[in-house]
């Protein structure tokens, strides 16, 4: 960690929201796992909006393998262990979190849920969990930092160096103290699956799009029209130091310019400019992880972008041990494919310090806002705690691959 880095004083920040209720709202009582939120979101959201959230690259090979990788590991539980005083608490970067999972960055969240990034920040802060805000947000990063000063900001680096430096300067003037640089998006991904679902950037008004809104009145009134009335037409707010284009503008694509010329010297320059904690996301190889560490990274997130970028990219869980071995001096984290408490524990056993969850919490925010997020956090925390008990451990740092995991034999 950079010597000048200091965690924000949360006592001076806005008063936290109330702790999660013991029981979810009635309409969420059938949600028994994170996967159940997707079923509700598919019904609640217009097809194009759901299509954007659920989209995978090309054939979905990476997305499918993200889940398959977790299934290939089995547990070797220890028995007759007193687990009555177990704790899911997790320490990362000298900060103690309530559980070993957090919120992955989710772009365009405010299109699927009213003030989505703000609501996620509120939920993460109240639950004492890490949260990464996406640079592809429709809400100003300053507004999110105000709600959760301990959150992290993910930057999609502008191709122009002056614009890059201006963006970093903007982030440095907020309460964000952790910058996450995503490095697996040198060019935009193949958009065929979002196009099939009717989503486009920019959004193009059409009879079909209007019909989707009218046939999903809860979303239309509770999210889209409410946003228009209270905040105006959504813009891409955080790709640059200045406000980006509105979501209906043909100039939107300029905010997603190719970054193919960026290289390791740019990361070194970011390290020079950024005085806080620097995390690099999108690493799948040990040699790249070492280069990132040599450039000044304080942490690594092993990720294939949830299967949204390069189809066929290796599942992060398969790459995790190599990256952990390559960077023993800094924390390694993981995202992509995490859905259950058992997934979290398998990732911890293989060396991850934190597992980040993306789409399921986005679906939760869409269908039920803050109460649904609280319910999802509670479900996953309970799974982690229950699975720890059955594994025979009382703290997350006791989970070891050599002791608790085995590879299943192929059929």
| Number of Cα atoms under 13 Å in the Cβ half of residue 53 | 30
Selection from 401, 337, 364, 355 nearest residue 62 by Cα: 337
- What pLDDT score was predicted for residue 200? 81
The Cα 387–Cα 400 span in angstroms is 14
Cα 219–Cα 244–Cα 264 angle in degrees, nearest 5: 115
Pairing of strands 73-75, 405-407: antiparallel
Residue recorded with tokens 């390791």: 264
H and E: helices and strands count for the chain = 17, 12
305 is a catalytic site residue = yes
Determine the pLDDT at residue 259: 67
pLDDT < 50 regions, the chain: 1-21
Alpha helices in 3-115 (DSSP H): 35-44, 47-54, 61-71, 109-112
The rounded distance, in Å, linking the Cα atoms of 330 and 156 is 22
And the tokens for 200?
């486009």
Q: Is 27 annotated as a binding residue?
A: no
Provide the pLDDT for residue 261: 73
The pLDDT of residue 14 is: 40
Q: Is 156 annotated as a binding residue?
A: yes
Which phi and psi angles does 264 have, rounded to 5°?
Answer: -60, -30
- pLDDT for 260 equals 66
- What pLDDT score was predicted for residue 5? 45
What pLDDT sits at residue 252?
A: 56
Nearest to 4 by CA among 233, 197, 172: 172
The closest alpha carbon to 365, from 14, 155, 121, 101, belongs to 121
When the candidates are 2.70.98.10, 3.20.20.70, 3.40.50.300, 3.40.50.2300, the CATH number that belongs to 30-68+89-192+255-386 is 3.20.20.70
pLDDT given at position 374: 97
Indicate the pTM of the whole model: 0.91
Whether omega for the bond prior to residue 202 falls within 30 degrees of 0, making it cis, is yes
Residue 359 counted as an annotated binding residue: yes
Q: Among 148, 216, 235, 305, which one carries the catalytic annotation?
A: 305
Give the span between the Cα atoms of 255 and 239, in whole angstroms.
6
What pLDDT digit, counting tens, does each position of 65-91 carry?
A: 999 999 999 999 999 999 999 999 999
Tell whether 335 is in a known binding site.
yes
Which pair of tokens denotes residue 88? 């899911």
Report the first-to-last Cα separation within the chain, whole angstroms: 45
Contacts of 265 (CB under 8 A, 6+ apart): none
**H-run or E-run covering 178:** strand 178-182
């Amino acid at each position: 960690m950079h010597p000048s880095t200091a965690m924000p004083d949360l006592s001076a920040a806005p008063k936290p929201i109330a702790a999660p209720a013991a029981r979810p709202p009635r309409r969420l009582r059938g949600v028994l796992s994170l996967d159940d939120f997707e079923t509700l979101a598919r019904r609640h959201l217009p097809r194009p909006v759901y299509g954007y959230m659920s989209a995978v690259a090309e054939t979905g090979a990476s997305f499918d393998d993200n889940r398959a990788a977790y299934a290939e590991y089995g547990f070797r539980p220890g028995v007759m262990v007193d687990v009555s005083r177990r704790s899911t608490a997790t320490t990362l970067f000298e900060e103690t979190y309530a559980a070993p999972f957090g919120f992955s960055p989710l772009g365009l969240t405010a299109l699927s849920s009213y003030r989505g990034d703000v609501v996620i920040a509120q939920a993460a802060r109240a639950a004492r969990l890490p949260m990464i805000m996406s640079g592809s947000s429709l809400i100003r990063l300053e507004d999110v930092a105000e709600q959760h000063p301990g959150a992290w900001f993910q930057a999609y680096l502008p191709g122009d160096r002056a614009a890059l430096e201006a963006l970093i300067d903007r982030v440095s003037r907020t309460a964000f103290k952790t910058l996450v640089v995503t490095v697996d998006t040198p060019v935009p991904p193949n958009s065929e699956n979002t196009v099939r679902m009717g989503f486009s950037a920019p959004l193009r008004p059409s009879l079909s799009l209007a019909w989707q809104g009218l046939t999903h009145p809860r979303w239309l009134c509770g999210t889209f029209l409410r946003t228009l009335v209270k905040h105006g037409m959504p813009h891409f707010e955080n790709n640059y130091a200045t406000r980006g284009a509105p979501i209906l503008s043909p100039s939107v694509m300029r905010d997603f310019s190719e970054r193919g010329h960026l290289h390791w010297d740019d990361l070194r320059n970011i390290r020079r400019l950024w005085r806080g904690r620097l995390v690099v996301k999108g690493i799948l190889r040990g040699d790249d992880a070492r280069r990132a560490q040599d450039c000044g990274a304080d942490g690594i997130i092993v990720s294939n972008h949830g299967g949204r970028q390069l189809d066929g990219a290796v599942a992060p869980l398969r790459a995790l041990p190599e990256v952990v071995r390559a960077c023993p001096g800094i924390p390694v984290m993981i995202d992509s494919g995490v859905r259950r408490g058992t997934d979290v524990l398998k990732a911890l056993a293989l060396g991850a310090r934190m597992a980040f969850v993306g789409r399921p919490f986005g679906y939760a925010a869409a269908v039920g806002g803050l109460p649904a997020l609280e319910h999802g956090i509670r479900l996953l925390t309970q799974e982690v705690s229950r699975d720890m008990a059955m594994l025979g451990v009382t703290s997350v740092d006791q989970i070891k691959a050599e002791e608790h995991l085995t590879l299943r034999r192929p059929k």
